[in-house]
Structure 1
Amino acid sequence: MSFTNRRTTAANASLISTRSMSSTVSPALASALREAGAGPFATGHPLNGMLEKAGWYGKTFTSVHDVKPLMCRDEKGELYSNRELGKGEASLWTVEFRGETTATMVYDGQPVFDHFKRVDETTLMGIMNSKGVPAEGPFYYFFLERVSGAPHGSPRAGEDS
């Protein structure tokens, strides 16, 4: 299933249903995506449109303890980890969310959690949750798709070598 170019409006109920049909993942499986392109589901959440304006491209999983949650493109199109926007970087943990235990990205510098479920071999669905959000939401829904042939292990623009 491909979510690429999925910029259409999606109802929260439809996304919740899709998420409930997806399987949970371990932090190791989530980190196996390595480099993932991302995109939002347009649900009317306050973040819809904001990350795109920052040049959000996706996430890079170096290991379960080293995740770059906000990989963005600069004005030259180069990828970099936007540590300022993310208030640091992140790591993967196993966390219960809505009665299921699944891989969750925990941001280093802010109370934000991205809970993941597997859609297929190369795609994860995420729900961003944070301190102060009621149990029923609103949540920010997004997808991650593994980037095939992406280079790994080399420094990114804007990162320390």
Structure 2
Amino acid sequence: MSAQDRLLALVQGTGSAAPGELERLYDRLAPVSPTFMLGTWQGGVFERADAMAAMLIKMRWYGKRFAGIENVEPLLCRDDAGEIYSFTGMGMARLREMSYRGTVSAAMIYDDQPIIDHFRRVSHDVVIGAMDAKAQESVLYFHLTRVEEA
């Protein structure tokens, strides 16, 4: 099974990843450009026991909106009524190209937090992100699925 097929199955909730599997799969994926990331993406986490993942779940994290290279809303969440809003309590972000794990790809850099999300392509509509938060011991892997604009 290809890395893309395995990751798409995990995104769809088919099975769970073995220890170290997400890292190995991530390393096999192609890079993306910052412009590839433009648009709205719905997100999800693979590892729900991670402290950062638990925080995203508690916030009712919906995804990210890349309105422009310099204008990224990193935390789209749902309110009590289910409406999507931009949580700005952790600041905004911007896109850049950065080297991570030996490959230059799009990265989202928070303006006010020591966090960088590094992206690699699974398909035209799905990317995997590696959240590198300086305060965390491990990397949180998450997925984003492109939302079709109406």
Q: TM-score, normalised by structure 2?
A: 0.86
The residue number in structure 2 matching 1:58 is 63
- Find out whether 1:29 has 2:33 as its counterpart: no
Conserved? CA contact 2:115–2:134, under 8 Å:
yes
Instruction: Give the residue type in structure 2 aligned to 1:123.
Output: V
Instruction: Report the equivalent of 1:145.
Output: 145
| Aligned pairs, number | 143
Q: CA deviation at 1:47?
A: 1.4
Unaligned runs of 5+ in 2: none
SS of 1:76's equivalent in the other structure is: coil
User: 137-146 or 36-45, which moves further after superposition?
Assistant: 36-45
TM-score between the two structures when normalised by the length of structure 1? 0.81
Change (3 A) 1:117 1:12: farther
Alpha-carbon contact 1:55-1:73 (below 8 Å) kept: yes
Take 2:14 and 2:43, find their aligned partners in 1: how far apart are those partners?
11
Structure number having the greater helix percentage = 2
**Which residue in 1 is equivalent to 2:78?**
73
Instruction: Return the letter of the residue paired with 2:75.
Output: L
Question: Closer, same or farther in 2 for the Cα pair 1:62/1:108, shift >3 Å?
Answer: same
| Letter of the structure 1 residue corresponding to residue 141 of structure 2 | Y
Residue segments in structure 1 that go unaligned for 5+ positions in a row? 152-161
Provide the secondary structure at the position in 2 that maps to 1:144: strand
C-alpha RMSD of matched pairs (Å): 1.9
Does the CA contact (< 8 Å) of 2:48 and 2:54 recur in 1? no
Residues 1:77 and 1:132: Cα distance change in structure 2 (over 3 Å): closer
Aligned-partner Cα distance in 1 for 2:46–2:15 = 7
Could you tell me the percent identity over the aligned residues? 35
